Amino acid sequence: MTGGAGYIGSVVAARLVAEGHDVVVLDDLSTGHADAVPRGAMFVHGDLRADAAGVLNGGIEAVLHFAARSLVGESVANPALYWASNLGGTLALLEAMRVAGVRSIVFSSTAATYGEPDSVPVRESAPARPTSPYGASKLAVDTVLAEYCLMHGFGAVSLRYFNVAGAYLEGDVRLGERHARETHLIPNILSVALGGQEELSIFGDDYPTADGSCVRDYIHVRDLADAHLLALAGCTPGRHAVYNLGNGNGYSTFEVLAACREVTGTEIPARVGGRRPGDPAVLIASSELIGLELNWRPERDLSAMVRDAWDFARWRWRDGRA
Ligand code: UFG
């Protein structure tokens, strides 16, 4: 697994270990944390280009590829970094896989491949018109994966995540979002609840939505992890499958704030500011296809996501780990 020291990768690693898989995590720790790699997984601190081949020669059966740059704004400011890392890094990985004879891969893709959708819910057949180098670089990987399936007999599954939230709390294993520069809505709201920030800035209330704020489809990271296990088992030689992953429900920024106020029992001051460039008004997934083909169903709602994210945030805060 690449990127297994990051938020989503570490949760999937923990689930795989819990299911009895042997897991090797390759991560350069550019954004991840070594202590997020779950006990029971082997950790290799290294780089995709330099180190993937060595790891793959150690009897690996399949790859889950999470390692990537994932900030939309940063990608607009520095596209070259995103192309080099997200496309260049993946090309190096795929070539190393081809040489080592490892042909199954589950790839972390994103709703950002669609850009501003014409209609919601967004199906996999919707036009892919990314509006950022981040989305474009992830979409380019899908083109390459399709070719590797066709030309080299790979079996690949791309999972297009919508808004991932929540945490993995199991015994003494606690994994959640801990980005150096936090841009995501729920951790930002919870940081205000904990006193880490004075108020939440709401990015625009003049969108064509019911309450004027953006609407997103939030999915619990545990539901997302379950989908990865199914995708891994569903890799079929010669086939590149693409699935959306969301709940199929949209929540506005104001609704998410209300859910956080309810769960935390705190006021959470908020102020409406300007729009964030590049934010689509509404993004809601249709995850019907992965339901039909892999029998995946999301099980956790928005309050479960907020509750788990809140438990995780408080635990880090209490232990001075923020
Ligand atoms: N928001 C705020 N204030 C904040 C943070 C977010 O109002 O402090 C709003 C945003 O404008 C957006 C919503 O909350 O409407 C969710 O924002 P996030 O940053 O949490 O998530 P995004 O929808 O921007 O990002 C997600 C994924 C990205 C992906 C993108 C595609 O996290 O990886 O969708 O649009 F690229």
- The arithmetic mean of pLDDT across residues 239-267, rounded, is 98
Q: Please work out whether the CB of residue 252 comes within 6 Å of at least one atom of ligand 1.
A: no
In a domain, 219, yes or no: yes
Q: Please work out whether the CB of residue 75 comes within 6 Å of at least one atom of ligand 1.
A: no
In a domain, 305, yes or no: yes
How many angstroms separate the CA atoms of 168 and 38, rounded?
11
**What is the SS3 assignment for 150?**
helix
- The arithmetic mean of pLDDT across residues 196-223, rounded, is 98
Amino acid at site 118? D
In a domain, 269, yes or no: yes
8 A C-beta contact, residue 190 and residue 313: yes
In a domain, 1, yes or no: no
In a domain, 2, yes or no: no
In a domain, 184, yes or no: yes
Enter the tokens of residue 270.
Answer: 């908020």
Confidence label for 191 from pLDDT (cuts 50, 70 and 90) = very high
In a domain, 92, yes or no: yes
Q: What's the predicted TM-score (pTM) here?
A: 0.97
Q: Which helix (DSSP H) or strand (DSSP E) does residue 288 occupy? A: helix 288-294
297-300, Cβ contacts within 8 angstroms, sequence gap of 24 or more = 298/219, 298/220, 298/223, 298/246, 298/247, 298/248, 299/220, 299/223, 300/166, 300/220, 300/222, 300/223
Confidence label for 90 from pLDDT (cuts 50, 70 and 90) = very high
- Going by alpha carbons, the residue nearest to atom 35 of ligand 1 is 112
The reply to whether 134 belongs to the active site is yes
**What is the SS3 assignment for 110?**
strand
Query: Residue 185 C-alpha to ligand 1 middle, in angstroms?
Result: 6
Query: Residue 278 C-alpha to ligand 1 middle, in angstroms?
Result: 10
- Going by alpha carbons, the residue nearest to atom 36 of ligand 1 is 112
Query: Residue 184 C-alpha to ligand 1 middle, in angstroms?
Result: 6
Query: Residue 216 C-alpha to ligand 1 middle, in angstroms?
Result: 8
8 A C-beta contact, residue 45 and residue 27: yes
List the CATH number of the domain containing 126: 3.40.50.720
Cα 56 to Cα 10, 20, 65, 298: the distances in Å are 19, 19, 13, 32
Sign of the Cα pseudo-torsion (147, 161, 2, 46, in order): positive
Strand partners, 106: 64, 157
- Going by alpha carbons, the residue nearest to atom 24 of ligand 1 is 279
Q: Please work out whether the CB of residue 158 comes within 6 Å of at least one atom of ligand 1.
A: no
The end-to-end CA distance of the chain, in Å, is: 26
Q: Please work out whether the CB of residue 201 comes within 6 Å of at least one atom of ligand 1.
A: yes
Q: Which helix (DSSP H) or strand (DSSP E) does residue 26 occupy? A: strand 23-27
In a domain, 79, yes or no: yes
- The arithmetic mean of pLDDT across residues 181-192, rounded, is 96
Structural domain including 71 reads 7-318
Domain count, the chain: 1
pLDDT of residue 321: 62
